Chain A
């Protein structure tokens, strides 16, 4: 039964040290507020799964929360590299992390297999690509009908998935629209799912019947956090704070500057601070 909870409580009840966790969002609807709450609560030893670990995984890695990352693109989208993740991979700061790297097709198929209750995903991929040599979880399998050699990867089954969505109705059904990314699969693949939303409306009766809706019984907890995706965006609510992505490149380049920024903007902040951050971006949405 889905519960509407304050974010602090939703995170505390659903995330544990050592969990395998996905904070998903493909550029759009990134669950930043949930990630910041997890940072404040100081979890350790996490296996962080995400197709495009951007700023929030850079922040979690830099704060020493990650034991391992599973990903397909470890960059700051459109800007360049993720400097905290690099520092961990290249120099072991603040700790060494294990890396399991896939392609987007590999990760997308693995989430879909997880949502489908399958042990693995099969697809035409990685031919000639060296990732298959450095990641023992990329294997191949012959099609039993044609003999074609296809790639196989284990399905992704997170202990808990966090996503951000536009809205929930009073029953706890969740609507995601715009670039829908991998969120539906990430929720259905996980044992528990926590969703932050921009707002709660009474019902979805007037909406197009095919909008992406996760029924309330697929969700563990919902927290209302307006602006909770900033500096990512929520289609129809506020625009992407591109300047913040550009600025992050400078902040994350220096360990001390990073730590000071995290202290001011995450550790000493709260979920309520997100609404003000997107105030100037609402007209542009």
Chain B
């Protein structure tokens, strides 16, 4: 077995959560890598949707943006952005929304809008994009991010997209009838919400990871399941698929010409 990095373990563990029958609305970054590894290994018929309107896309390299031409070239169909959000997402046709997060709390609420006060932000982040509605209209939500105390916080600065709110039945109380976050895959562990409180609880530790490491890189007091198992290590096939995909992607993004932007 080859050695692997925590990030590779994260991406591969996330890819395993996806099924061949899933219709997955893909966020850019870590979710995009995981979704395409799933498609290239155990879930060849998975439907991947990017918010630019590409449905059933099968890119050979990971897109830099959600609207790269590769996504359209390989898609079953490409629809307009209003159609994407109205018929396909709001229409309830997406089974999994796969999101990343700048800031996350223990109930799966996500902030990608601002650090600090909204009106006078310390750092203005890009904002929600499609996420606020992906979070409420997808059948369920998977979240993937590398752990850090800055990223996993007791209290997020802004509710960009709603997870389980204050926990318990908060979603139902707001009239949201989808499941919300059901899975969190980090570089150290796999987490699932507690059935009653909805607080994320560690259910699997990645190989070689300790409870202390999970706690040290998380801003809230971590709950661990009574019986925890170890995430199976990446297989040779999974690792090769991910690394080949990343190598192709790197080569493609360095530019079609000499890897240099085409200005004078």
> Using a CB-CB cutoff of 8 Å, which residues 156-204 of chain B contact chain A?
158-162, 165, 170-171, 174-176
Indicate which residue in B51, B124, B256 contacts A90 across the interface (CB closer than 8 Å).
B124
The CA-CA distance from A48 to B263 in the complex, in Å, is 25
With an 8 A cutoff between CB atoms, is B86 at the interface? yes
* Interface mask (A58-78 → B, CB under 8 Å = 1, otherwise 0): 000000000000011111011
Which A residues touch B207, using CB under 8 A? Answer: none
Which B residues touch A230, using CB under 8 A? Answer: 262
Which A residues touch B259, using CB under 8 A? Answer: 243
> Using a CB-CB cutoff of 8 Å, which residues 62-119 of chain A contact chain B?
71-75, 77-82, 85-86, 89-90, 101, 103-105, 108-109, 111-112
With an 8 A cutoff between CB atoms, is A44 at the interface? no
With an 8 A cutoff between CB atoms, is B59 at the interface? no
* Interface mask (B44-85 → A, CB under 8 Å = 1, otherwise 0): 000000011110000000011111110110000011111011
A131 contacts B124, C-beta separation under 8 Å: no
Indicate which residue in B82, B119, B126, B159 contacts A82 across the interface (CB closer than 8 Å).
B126
Report the minimum CB–CB distance from B38 to chain A (whole Å): 20
B264 contacts A265, C-beta separation under 8 Å: yes
A109 contacts B86, C-beta separation under 8 Å: yes
Which B residues touch A26, using CB under 8 A? Answer: 52-53, 67, 81
Indicate which residue in B53, B85, B165 contacts A179 across the interface (CB closer than 8 Å).
B53
B126 contacts A74, C-beta separation under 8 Å: yes
With an 8 A cutoff between CB atoms, is A180 at the interface? yes
Which B residues touch A233, using CB under 8 A? Answer: 69
Indicate which residue in B28, B71, B170, B256 contacts A284 across the interface (CB closer than 8 Å).
B256
B256 contacts A131, C-beta separation under 8 Å: no
Which B residues touch A86, using CB under 8 A? Answer: 123-124
With an 8 A cutoff between CB atoms, is A19 at the interface? no
A75 contacts B72, C-beta separation under 8 Å: no
A179 contacts B67, C-beta separation under 8 Å: yes
The CA-CA distance from A230 to B263 in the complex, in Å, is 10
A130 contacts B159, C-beta separation under 8 Å: yes
Q: What bracket does the count of chain A residues touching chain B fall in?
A: 35 or more
A235 contacts B69, C-beta separation under 8 Å: yes
A245 contacts B126, C-beta separation under 8 Å: no
* Interface mask (A147-186 → B, CB under 8 Å = 1, otherwise 0): 0110000000000000000000000000000111110110
Which A residues touch B124, using CB under 8 A? Answer: 74, 81, 85-86, 89-90
With an 8 A cutoff between CB atoms, is A253 at the interface? no
> Using a CB-CB cutoff of 8 Å, which residues 76-106 of chain B contact chain A?
78-82, 84-86, 89-90
> Using a CB-CB cutoff of 8 Å, which residues 118-174 of chain B contact chain A?
118-119, 121-133, 135-137, 158-162, 165, 170-171, 174
A27 contacts B81, C-beta separation under 8 Å: no
Which A residues touch B122, using CB under 8 A? Answer: 90
Which B residues touch A243, using CB under 8 A? Answer: 253-255, 257, 259-262
With an 8 A cutoff between CB atoms, is A49 at the interface? no
* Interface mask (B221-257 → A, CB under 8 Å = 1, otherwise 0): 0000000000000000000000000000000111111
Q: Which residue of A lies closest to B62 (CB)?
A: A78
B261 contacts A181, C-beta separation under 8 Å: no
B67 contacts A241, C-beta separation under 8 Å: no
* Interface mask (A18-33 → B, CB under 8 Å = 1, otherwise 0): 0000000011100000
A27 contacts B66, C-beta separation under 8 Å: yes
B129 contacts A73, C-beta separation under 8 Å: yes
The CA-CA distance from A79 to B253 in the complex, in Å, is 11
Report the minimum CB–CB distance from B33 to chain A (whole Å): 12
Which A residues touch B255, using CB under 8 A? Answer: 241-243
Which B residues touch A43, using CB under 8 A? Answer: none
Indicate which residue in A128, A240, A246, A247 contacts B159 across the interface (CB closer than 8 Å).
A128
Indicate which residue in A81, A103, A240 contacts B131 across the interface (CB closer than 8 Å).
A103
The CA-CA distance from A241 to B256 in the complex, in Å, is 7
With an 8 A cutoff between CB atoms, is A278 at the interface? yes
Q: Which residue of B lies closest to A110 (CB)?
A: B82
B82 contacts A111, C-beta separation under 8 Å: yes
Which A residues touch B254, using CB under 8 A? Answer: 242-243
Given contacts A264-B264, A279-B262, 14 further A-B contacts (CB under 8 A): A52-B129, A74-B124, A78-B63, A123-B85, A123-B86, A123-B133, A125-B90, A131-B160, A179-B53, A180-B80, A235-B69, A243-B253, A280-B257, A281-B257
Q: Which residues of A contact B (CB under 8 A)?
A: 26-28, 51-52, 71-75, 77-82, 85-86, 89-90, 101, 103-105, 108-109, 111-112, 123-131, 134, 148-149, 178-182, 184-185, 230-231, 233, 235, 239-248, 264-265, 269, 273, 276-281, 283-285
**What are 6 pairs between A and B in contact, CB < 8 Å?**
A27-B66, A103-B131, A104-B85, A129-B159, A182-B80, A242-B254
Q: Give the 9 A-B CB pairs with smallest separation, nearest first.
A: A27-B67, A128-B162, A75-B126, A77-B65, A244-B261, A243-B255, A284-B256, A78-B64, A280-B257
